[in-house]
Structures are given as C-alpha cells and as structure tokens.
Amino acid sequence: MAGDRDLLLAMQGMDRVVANLANNVPQLRGKVILADCGHWTQQERASEVNGAMIDFLRAL
C-alpha cells in the first residue's frame, strides 16, 4: 500500500519495482495505491488503510 504522491514511488526504477512485485514477493495478495496520498498513508487516509487491512485479514 502506498500513496501515489509518495516521493519514494517517484524514484528512478520504482515503476518497474511496483510492476514486478508479484514476481519478487512470494504470496503477494495485491497492491493498493491510494490516489492523492503521500508517504504517510495510515495518517492521511486512515479509514481507507483500515478498510484495506480488514479486507486483507478477512481474506486469509
């Protein structure tokens, strides 16, 4: 989970890293990129982060 305005996502090569996560992270269950959100997702979008975490846990 990351915000689309997170400066880490703007680093050179991160687009390839994100695109290839499924190949490099065993048992990856998904990616969530929050629109108009920066680095501190849990503070900037608490309800969306909590909802995504609850959905993830329910799917286990």
Element (H, E) at 33: strand 33-34
- State which residues form the domain around 30: 2-59
- Taking residues 29-43, what's their average pLDDT? 95
**Are the beta carbons of 24 and 31 closer than 8 angstroms?**
no
Q: What is the pLDDT of residue 12?
A: 97
Cβ neighbours around 14 below 10 Å, total: 14
Confidence category of residue 57, pLDDT binned at 50, 70, 90: very high
User: What are the structure tokens assigned to 48, written together?
Assistant: 């969306």
Confidence category of residue 51, pLDDT binned at 50, 70, 90: very high
pLDDT (tens digit, 9 = 90+) per residue, 4-31? Answer: 999 999 999 999 999 999 999 999 999 9
**Are the beta carbons of 9 and 18 closer than 8 angstroms?**
yes
In whole angstroms, give the CA distance from residue 40 to residue 45: 8
Q: What is the pLDDT of residue 11?
A: 96
Total domains present in the chain:
1
Q: What is the pLDDT of residue 24?
A: 94
